[in-house]
């Protein structure tokens, strides 16, 4: 079960504060795109997310975007945030997490993975021995594969909500 559990869970990316990152003893964030910084497939950033990213960076927290999407989806989006990125990450496999960490010059114990999916972001963080913050997806995706994944996530999210296990899970 621990493989599926995030370190922390909040509703939105903008709920993550520099104080939370520091409380997790971290100084770097690996950030997903779809349903984290934008509605799935959209090039329009979520309200307040660009300012949020600047706030973290002004507080000396390093950020890199790590996405399973193609470069033509991720590059223009990363440019809006003025952030480095890795595309075609093949999450949850740890290789891209390690590449991102190396690119930022940080150690895994100083790194937090932020995303909306248990089966990519959280499992990838746990396999990489990194901390994670799970978000509530911004919108329900329409594809069959997402229908299956979200269906499998529902009981896990419910267990997190019920147990809380001394951590900040969903309210």
CATH superfamily of the 2-163 domain: HAD superfamily/HAD-like (3.40.50.1000)
Q: Kindly state the tokens that stand for 165.
A: 């296990």
Asked if 86 and 64 count as a contact pair (C-beta separation under 8 A), the reply is yes
Asked if 62 and 26 count as a contact pair (C-beta separation under 8 A), the reply is no
Closest of 12, 6, 10, 31 to residue 131, by C-alpha:
6
pLDDT in tens, the chain (171 residues): 588 889 998 989 999 999 999 999 999 999 999 889 988 878 899 999 999 999 999 999 999 999 999 999 999 989 999 999 999 999 999 999 999 999 999 999 999 999 998 889 999 999 999 999 999 886 665 655 555 665 666 666 666 664 554 455 433
> Where is 73: in which H helix or E strand?
helix 71-81
The neighbour count for residue 32, using CB atoms within 10 Å, is 24
- CA of residue 160 relative to chain centroid, distance: 17
Pairing status of strand 8-10 against strand 131-135? parallel
Asked if 9 and 133 count as a contact pair (C-beta separation under 8 A), the reply is yes
* pLDDT of amino acid 171: 34
Cα(138)–Cα(150) distance, integer angstroms: 13
- Maximal C-alpha separation, the chain: 41
Cβ within 8 Å of residue 152, ≥6 positions away: 119
């Amino acid at each position: 079960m621990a493989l599926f559990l995030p370190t922390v869970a909040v509703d939105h990316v903008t709920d993550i504060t520099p104080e939370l990152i520091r409380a997790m003893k971290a100084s770097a964030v690996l950030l997903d795109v779809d349903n984290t910084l934008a509605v799935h497939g959209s090039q329009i950033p979520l309200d307040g997310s660009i300012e949020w990213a600047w706030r973290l960076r002004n507080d000396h927290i390093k950020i890199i975007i790590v996405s399973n999407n193609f470069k033509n989806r991720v590059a223009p989006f990363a440019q809006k945030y003025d952030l480095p990125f890795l595309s075609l990450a093949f999450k949850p496999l740890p290789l891209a997490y390690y590449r991102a960490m190396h690119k930022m010059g940080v150690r895994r114990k100083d790194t937090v993975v932020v995303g909306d999916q248990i089966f990519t972001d959280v499992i990838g963080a746990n396999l990489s021995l990194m901390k994670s913050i799970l978000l509530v997806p911004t919108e329900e995706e329409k594809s069959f594969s997402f229908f299956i994944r979200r269906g499998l996530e529902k009981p896990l999210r419910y267990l997190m909500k019920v147990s809380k296990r001394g951590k900040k899970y969903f309210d």
